[in-house]
Amino acid sequence: MEAKKYVYFFGGGKAEGSAVMKELLGGKGANLAEMTNLGIPVPPGFTISTEVCDIYYKQNRKYPEELEKQVADNLKKLEELMGKQLGDPKAPLLVSVRSGAAVSMPGMMDTVLNLGTNDSSVKGLEVMTGNEWFAWDAYRRFIQMFGDVVMGVEHDEFEKILSSQKNKRGIKLDTELDIDDLKQIVADYKKLYKTHTGEDFPQDPKKQLWKSINAVFGSWNNERAIKYREINDIKGLLGTAVNVQTMVFGNVGNDSGTGVCFTRDPSTGDNRFYGEYLINAQGEDVVAGIRTPESLEDMKQEMPDKYEQLNKIRDKLERHYRDMQDMEFTIERDTLYILQTRTGKRTAHAAVKIAVDMEKEGLIDHKTAVMRVEPNQLNQLLHPMIDPDEDVEVIASGLPASPGAAVGEIVFTADKAEEEAAKGKEVILVRIETSPDDIGGMNAAEGILTARGGMTSHAAVVARGMGKCCVAGCSDVHILNESECEIGGIHFSTGDYITLNGTSGEVIKGQVKLIEPEPTGDFAKLMEWADEARRLKVRTNADTPADAENARKLGAEGIGLCRTEHMFFEGNRIDSVREMILAEDEEGRRKALHKLLPMQQEDFEGIFKAMDGLPVTIRLLDPPLHEFLPQDVDEIEELAESIGVSTKRLTKKVESLREFNPMLGHRGCRLGITYPEIYEMQVEAIFLAACSVKKTGVKVLPEVMIPLTGTFKEMALLHELTRRTAEDVMKKQKGKVPYLIGTMIEIPRAALIADKIAEFAEFFSYGTNDLTQMTFGYSRDDAGVFLPEYLKKGILEKDPFQVLDQEGVGQLIDISIQRGRKTKKDLKIGICGEHGGEPSSVEFCHRLGMNYVSCSPFRVPIARLAAAQAAITQSK
């Protein structure tokens, strides 16, 4: 019986492995084999399979019997191919020993370089390279790395010896050390090694090799690697492979060099060869930035042959992998080696261009192109961003409440913002927090900065709706008066410039150059392909005709959430709203509501027109009534005077409405139950508007949504109220529009009794913001105190308000979809929380069989792309 194969050779133009053997050879090993087979000049070597790692642990850290011989055979083969031998005093072979699992775990496991150096081979290295300094430096580095990584001698102890030698000589850089210094350091390193390990530094390269192999396999189960796998949910792997590979050196003369290159421009996506290189240097020199690398254009002049060879390899690799590659190369004495190739990182702009170009070039199909762009990257294409080449002075950080960037002069009041904007100035509105009164100023400003409030604060929600940059809850902002503030300890007055980065939450001093978004033809093309592929509909959350139109341009296929309360704040409507709240009885409330009716009707008419032919989901009043009343003593006095009510009475009303936990208070459909006249007015306005625009030829598809349902009877009663009111209006108007009545599912209990709720609901829309709050017991406005620590400590992997918690909240969604559809097979189901525009959450919604997702206008393209990727992934 033939012995099982544990070791796979690569080199000399062919390899025993290939790219498909990732599970067995790890990503790195499989890739090296693949490149070798392609005829790419890769430094030869061999890979010990992941199976060995598995057996090693299963057998309590013993290798399979056959391994020793197989390693020896492959080493011999390698030595023969290279014409060098490990430890040879004339032509020594140096190898690296590296880990490499099927899934990349960067920096988690061990690596040993320069293996094979010892007291005699260091001389051979000297002879071979003609560079004594290089030889001794390589030896020094090897002892340090071996001692640290393999034997556990503290890294610091080596550094102490190095520093002390430099101090002795009064120098600062390693490169200033002379050969005698290096020899002294090698001697001291060896002493340190012996003190700590109780044995001499091993001179036998075979011993060096096996100890290193042990160390790499051992590092598979070190603490940080285990933790990394846990956090990243990496499961089912056999272990790591070990790659033993010939070392090549780019720093052994002017016929040598090293570099990094991309098969296309990673910044613009242009199909041009792009990269940097350094003559007579090692890879780390490029990274360390001690010398400034030259461009590949220079290489074309300086090493035309090598450039030509590299350029051909570029073609070969890109054609083979059908994606833009990021390659590392080294030239050792005029011989080019490719050390690594991998898919290159790129900007959003480049990602779109490369995907579309490659499709044109016939390299990939539509679906593959769609999969090539990370949906969240699109943010960069839709909002202005700070020029990455600018030096910026970040003076404070807040919540990234609404993405994009904005530059402007500081103003402190909404009035001032409008005033200055009218003069053509660009302004940033800085407030402790914003209120409905500030809407005009917010609209006039380029961006908004608040000292208080969370991701769902007034400023944040309104800014996202407007697609306007906003940094919220920045506690380093202290407003001193109406013309001065301190930000991060720096004093600012009205008219001083600041810049906001709403994508990162940073506040930057002064004026910074912005890059404007350019949704190019490539972008449109990619979105077209995405739309071909996806099954989920994408709607938008929009409260105004302007938002609705904007979202429609970005591809929205309807409104998934139109919040009627924002309409209550506009202009002088708030007066009627307050009159209603302060009314003593139903009659008084109805009188005030009657004034609101035509205004609400007008709102809905505008939105219906903007969404002609598309469904519009309108949520009935949701927030607690106290949100419509002032809370400060001064404001209460002012209001009391303006509406002719005693301050005492108004104060009493404000106090009686105050709540300990407004999130769990008298809001949502609870208002509709206790004050049915409010919902009646809203439904009346919806259907008056629908009948009216229908007469002008607009196609109207209203979907009336009851918020915060938690019991069967709430839904039954309010379904009846809505249906009755709608039918009455349509009868009187002699009109007929198709409509649906449904509910938000945002209370855990509603999810649990979804089968019953579905009896009276034609659609469900998941309000995942509230559902997350209640399922976790987190108030979004308060969780900021502990959430960062929860993320840092790994208690939560992701902020559940940004990325839907599939494990907990997801269960409630899953259960309720099943139960809801059991009652009503064709129940329409969507999501309208903030998660509707987050790619992994969109994928989850797709998987659960929802009909649509709804998100803020500027996330519509992101959701479209994510939905397409979900469909493509599932079909595979």
Stretch that binds a second copy, among 62-70, 568-576, 708-716, 850-858 (CB under 8 A): 708-716
Is residue 774 involved in binding a second copy (CB under 8 A)? yes
Which of 560, 611, 602, 603 is CA-nearest to residue 742? 560
Q: In the bound complex, what is the minimum distance in angstroms from residue 673's beta carbon to a second copy?
A: 7
| Overall size of the chain counted in residues | 876
Which listed residue (127, 162, 663, 848) binds a second copy by CB under 8 A?
A: 663
- Per CB under 8 A, contacts with a second copy among 394-413 are none
Which listed residue (399, 536, 542, 783) binds a second copy by CB under 8 A?
A: 783
Own/partner contacts of 433-440, CB < 8 Å, gap of 24 or more, are 433/457, 433/458, 433/459, 434/458, 434/459, 434/462, 436/569, 436/570, 436/574, 438/414, 439/414, 439/569, 439/570, 440/414
**Catalytic residue positions, numbered:** 458, 832
* Residue whose entry in the numeric block shows the structure tokens 């340190």: 192
Question: Which C-beta is closer to a second copy: that of 216 or that of 657?
Answer: 657
Q: Which amino acid is at 395?
A: I
Which listed residue (807, 826, 875, 876) binds a second copy by CB under 8 A?
A: 807
Which listed residue (214, 221, 779, 840) binds a second copy by CB under 8 A?
A: 779
Please give the Cα distance from 67 to 64 (Å, whole number).
6
Is residue 227 involved in binding a second copy (CB under 8 A)? no
429 in Cβ contact with 438 (< 8 Å): yes
Is residue 794 involved in binding a second copy (CB under 8 A)? yes
Is residue 300 involved in binding a second copy (CB under 8 A)? no
Which of 396, 400, 399, 425 is CA-nearest to residue 496? 425
β-pair type (257-262, 294-295)? unpaired
8 token code pair:
């796979």
Stretch that binds a second copy, among 278-286, 631-639, 688-696, 805-813 (CB under 8 A): 805-813
Q: Which amino acid is at 633?
A: V
Is residue 833 involved in binding a second copy (CB under 8 A)? no
Q: In the bound complex, what is the minimum distance in angstroms from residue 796's beta carbon to a second copy?
A: 7
Which listed residue (670, 723, 821, 847) binds a second copy by CB under 8 A?
A: 670
Is residue 583 involved in binding a second copy (CB under 8 A)? no
Q: Within 13 A of 317's CA, how many CA atoms are on the CB side?
A: 31
Is residue 777 involved in binding a second copy (CB under 8 A)? yes
Total number of residues that touch a second copy (CB under 8 A):
48
Which listed residue (73, 180, 659, 727) binds a second copy by CB under 8 A?
A: 659
128 in Cβ contact with 88 (< 8 Å): no
Is residue 792 involved in binding a second copy (CB under 8 A)? no
Question: Which C-beta is closer to a second copy: that of 275 or that of 710?
Answer: 710
Please give the Cα distance from 167 to 254 (Å, whole number).
31
Question: Please, which residues bridge with residue 851 across strands?
Answer: none
Q: Read off φ and ψ for residue 32, nearest 5 degrees.
A: -60, -40
Is residue 714 involved in binding a second copy (CB under 8 A)? yes
Stretch that binds a second copy, among 315-323, 386-394, 771-779, 852-860 (CB under 8 A): 771-779
592 in Cβ contact with 678 (< 8 Å): no
Please give the Cα distance from 764 to 754 (Å, whole number).
9
Please give the Cα distance from 829 to 744 (Å, whole number).
10
Q: In the bound complex, what is the minimum distance in angstroms from residue 791's beta carbon to a second copy?
A: 11
Q: In the bound complex, what is the minimum distance in angstroms from residue 559's beta carbon to a second copy?
A: 25
- Per CB under 8 A, contacts with a second copy among 671-690 are 673-674
SS3 at position 407: strand
Is residue 662 involved in binding a second copy (CB under 8 A)? yes
Own/partner contacts of 781-787, CB < 8 Å, gap of 24 or more, are 781/453, 781/454, 781/456, 781/457, 784/399, 784/454, 784/473
Q: In the bound complex, what is the minimum distance in angstroms from residue 287's beta carbon to a second copy?
A: 35
Which listed residue (237, 394, 740, 752) binds a second copy by CB under 8 A?
A: 752
672 in Cβ contact with 706 (< 8 Å): yes
Q: In the bound complex, what is the minimum distance in angstroms from residue 533's beta carbon to a second copy?
A: 33
Question: Which C-beta is closer to a second copy: that of 231 or that of 643?
Answer: 231
Question: Which C-beta is closer to a second copy: that of 228 or that of 776?
Answer: 776
193 in Cβ contact with 147 (< 8 Å): yes
Q: In the bound complex, what is the minimum distance in angstroms from residue 582's beta carbon to a second copy?
A: 16
Is residue 770 involved in binding a second copy (CB under 8 A)? yes
Q: In the bound complex, what is the minimum distance in angstroms from residue 474's beta carbon to a second copy?
A: 15
- Per CB under 8 A, contacts with a second copy among 531-560 are none
Stretch that binds a second copy, among 41-49, 511-519, 770-778, 845-853 (CB under 8 A): 770-778
DSSP assignment of 412-432 equals -SHHHHHHHHHTT--EEEEES
Q: Read off φ and ψ for residue 682, nearest 5 degrees.
A: -65, -45
Is residue 805 involved in binding a second copy (CB under 8 A)? yes
DSSP assignment of 792-861 equals HTTSSSS-TTTS--TTTHHHHHHHHHHHHHHH-TT-EEEE-SGGGG-HHHHHHHHHTT-SEEEE-GGGHH
Question: Which C-beta is closer to a second copy: that of 347 or that of 779?
Answer: 779
CA angle 413, 417, 420 (to 5 degrees): 130
Q: In the bound complex, what is the minimum distance in angstroms from residue 766's beta carbon to a second copy?
A: 14
Is residue 791 involved in binding a second copy (CB under 8 A)? no
Is residue 786 involved in binding a second copy (CB under 8 A)? yes
Which listed residue (57, 133, 228, 790) binds a second copy by CB under 8 A?
A: 790
Which listed residue (795, 822, 849, 874) binds a second copy by CB under 8 A?
A: 795
Question: Which C-beta is closer to a second copy: that of 497 or that of 776?
Answer: 776
Which of 746, 727, 621 is CA-nearest to residue 672? 621
748 in Cβ contact with 757 (< 8 Å): no
Is residue 660 involved in binding a second copy (CB under 8 A)? yes
Q: In the bound complex, what is the minimum distance in angstroms from residue 82's beta carbon to a second copy?
A: 49
Is residue 665 involved in binding a second copy (CB under 8 A)? yes
Is residue 154 involved in binding a second copy (CB under 8 A)? no
* Residue whose entry in the numeric block shows the structure tokens 């979809």: 817
870 token code pair:
């979900």
Question: Which C-beta is closer to a second copy: that of 452 or that of 525?
Answer: 452
Question: Which C-beta is closer to a second copy: that of 80 or that of 789?
Answer: 789
Please give the Cα distance from 597 to 576 (Å, whole number).
10
Which listed residue (240, 743, 775, 806) binds a second copy by CB under 8 A?
A: 775
Q: In the bound complex, what is the minimum distance in angstroms from residue 794's beta carbon to a second copy?
A: 7
213 token code pair:
């192999």
Question: Which C-beta is closer to a second copy: that of 793 or that of 876?
Answer: 793
428 token code pair:
């940033």
Question: Which C-beta is closer to a second copy: that of 305 or that of 660?
Answer: 660
Q: Within 13 A of 170's CA, how many CA atoms are on the CB side?
A: 0
Is residue 785 involved in binding a second copy (CB under 8 A)? yes
Helix axis angle, 132-145 to 179-197, nearest 10°: 20
Instruction: Give the torsion sign (CA, 171, 175, 179, 185).
Output: positive
SS3 at position 363: coil
Is residue 623 involved in binding a second copy (CB under 8 A)? no
Which of 22, 16, 29, 113 is CA-nearest to residue 73? 16
Is residue 768 involved in binding a second copy (CB under 8 A)? no
Q: Within 13 A of 606's CA, how many CA atoms are on the CB side?
A: 15
Is residue 811 involved in binding a second copy (CB under 8 A)? yes
Please give the Cα distance from 551 to 556 (Å, whole number).
5
Q: In the bound complex, what is the minimum distance in angstroms from residue 583's beta carbon to a second copy?
A: 16
Is residue 773 involved in binding a second copy (CB under 8 A)? yes
Residues of this chain that interact with a second copy (CB under 8 A) are 659-666, 670, 673-674, 708, 710-711, 713-714, 717, 746-749, 752-753, 770, 773-779, 781-783, 785-786, 789-790, 793-796, 805, 807-809, 811-812
